[in-house]
Structure 1
Amino acid sequence: MDTTGHVISMLIFGYVLGSIPFAKLFTMRAGVDLFEIGTGNPGAANVFRKVDKRIGAAVFLADGLKGAIPVLFAWAMGAPQDLWFIAGWAAVTGHWYPVFNKFRGGAGLASGAGVVVALMPLAGLVGLILGMLVIAKLKSSGHGALTGLIVIVVAAALINAEWPLGAEWSAMASAVALALILFARAAARGWKPGRKD
């Protein structure tokens, strides 16, 4: 498949997968409207705190996978490495503006984490684990996300290995840029490092 075909396939697959509203699907039985409770965000953190911790964990995993799978799909298709992040961006965009949920989506932090881990596994996993430990300790997803972002940037600078052990600089730059944009977007929506709800 030529480059154009790769890009179109990745955009479509990533966006459609990213559009699946797992938070809404997993909470349907509870009769909860995520837009009306907690932060009003249809994402894992809101489900975890306001609905059920087990369901919240499942949503986080599902949203993370819908960010990671398109990147791995692009890799499996043999797409050039500098195009892998396009699939991830498409998935996050689908989460932000899901066609299956009237274009009302979440902040995309879990999906973005999945993209970062797929692009740069070691640095991404280290940042994700430490970020989650901070969330468990401080009960603040903002502090956890900020910690994870800092750790990812530092770890990525220290790890300069080929896939799947690390990331080349192009993948690192894409992953870090995505993390920064996710953080800025979340902050713009009123989600701040010290916020606990």
Structure 2
Amino acid sequence: MTALTILIFACTYLVGSISSAILVCRLFKLGDPRAQGSGNPGATNVLRLGGKLPAIFVLTFDVLKGTVPVWASYYLGLEPINLAFVAVMACLGHMYPLFFGFSGGKAVATAFGAILPLGLDLAAILIVTWVIVARLTHYSSLAAIVAVSLAPFFTWLLKPEYSFPVAILSLLIVLRHKDNIIRLLRGRESKISQKNNLK
């Protein structure tokens, strides 16, 4: 592993550590998303707290902080396996942000952004999977869990050389959803359409 690769990993983690949910909530005077709603600093919780506009800002930034480091690393000549672990570092930064006490989000949007450079076909399949599950169940968390759980299989079909790193990403994200899984099993998880989602 070269010094450039190590530097890129470190920079990607730092970029991932920028919590757009917390910053956008401060900008819109919504308080700390980690202390409200679901407690997750992500776009879905910001949607509940402040409506569509701040949620769109959060979603866009979280996707980009996965996509941009992977694309930049590709043009800097990193090998495929190292590109995949750039994606992992972006998600680890989002989950355990250095700048916010290592208390971060689930990294679903960041993982999607990191996978996006692997191909629009793969990205489209993941989006369709999320939408179908979300439409059928009205649970954003369940849609995310199903989509990321199937991501390694879809990757194996389309880009088999990236299957292992994508599987690592999927495992990390599913583990971060453990509380959601418990609430889903107990019937206590909030639905997308529930009460004050859209303000």
Maintained 8 Å contact 2:30/2:50: no
Matched, 1:185 2:176: yes
Structure-2 residue corresponding to 1:162: none
Deviation per CA, 1:46-103: give whole Å up to 9, x if none: 1112221221122112111111211111101011111101211111111112122222
Matched, 1:59 2:23: no
TM (norm. structure 1) is 0.83
Maintained 8 Å contact 2:156/2:162: no
Structure-2 residue corresponding to 1:131: 130
TM (norm. structure 2) is 0.82
Alignment of 1:1-197 (within 5 A): 3-28=1-26, 29-159=28-158, 167=159, 169-187=160-178, 190-192=179-181, 194=184, 195-196=189-190
Q: In the aligned structure 2, how far is the partner of 1:180 from the partner of 1:97? A: 15
SS at match of 1:191: helix
Q: In the aligned structure 2, how far is the partner of 1:17 from the partner of 1:30? A: 23
Change over 3 Å in CA distance of 1:120–1:178 after alignment to 2: farther
CA RMSD of aligned residues (A): 2.1
Q: In the aligned structure 1, how far is the partner of 2:48 from the partner of 2:30? A: 16
Q: In the aligned structure 1, how far is the partner of 2:136 from the partner of 2:29? A: 28
Maintained 8 Å contact 1:71/1:87: yes
AA aligned to 1:196 is: S
Deviation per CA, 1:29-56: give whole Å up to 9, x if none: 2232212211111111111122212211
Q: In the aligned structure 2, how far is the partner of 1:44 from the partner of 1:136? A: 17
SS at match of 2:177: helix
Q: In the aligned structure 2, how far is the partner of 1:178 from the partner of 1:35? A: 22
SS at match of 2:146: helix
Deviation per CA, 1:108-145: give whole Å up to 9, x if none: 12112222223354223311233034324532112211
Give the paired residue count: 185
Deviation per CA, 1:134-179: give whole Å up to 9, x if none: 32453211221133235534433332xxxxxxx2x23122113212
Aligned-residue sequence identity (percent) comes to 25
Maintained 8 Å contact 1:68/1:118: yes
Structure 1: segments with no counterpart, 5+ residues: 160-166
